[in-house]
Amino acid sequence: MRSFIAKIVAAASILAAIPLSSAYAVHRHHRAQVDTMSTASVPANPEARAAMEQLLGVKQGIREAREMGKITQDQARDLMRQADAIQPTRGRSAIGQINQLDQRLQNASGQGTYIGSGGDGGYYPNG
């Protein structure tokens, strides 16, 4: 009977250690991702960092608009080409370019800002 209980305890210990070891590996992997993001891949300048994050958001918006069928493949390709030409390290000037690109994306997808009451027969994109 004792050897049977010892085997159960040993098996339970091994089975209990498996989830802990995988959780430790996931935690270490997650930490490695965070560490690489804090080095050369993200600019230290706050304006450049903001521009980088905003540009990534606009690129994601382009992909989502294409997937939802709000823009054509050609429009998506053109907008993505414009996004790739923007240099986020330029700070405020890059943010201005990103804002203009975002407005073009919104206009192309039919979600731009409109002016007027519609009393003149239709709405017209702002800008």
pLDDT at 45: 83
Give the residue extent of every domain in the chain.
1-41, 43-112
For residue 61, which of 116, 108, 119, 3 has the smallest C-alpha distance?
A: 108
Burial of 86 (0-12, 13-18, 19+ CB in 10 A): buried
Residue 120 has pLDDT above 70, yes or no: no
With b for 16 or more beta-carbon neighbours within 10 A and e for fewer, the 28-67 pattern comes to eeeeeeeeeeeeeeeeeeebbebbbebbeebbebbeebbe
Per-residue pLDDT, 114: 60
CB atoms within 10 A of CB 12: 10
122's enclosing H/E stretch is: none
- C-alpha closest to that of 76 among 106, 103, 96, 105: 105
- Which DSSP category does 41 fall into? T
pLDDT per position as a tens digit, 27-83: 444 444 444 444 455 567 888 888 899 999 999 999 999 999 999 999 999 999 999
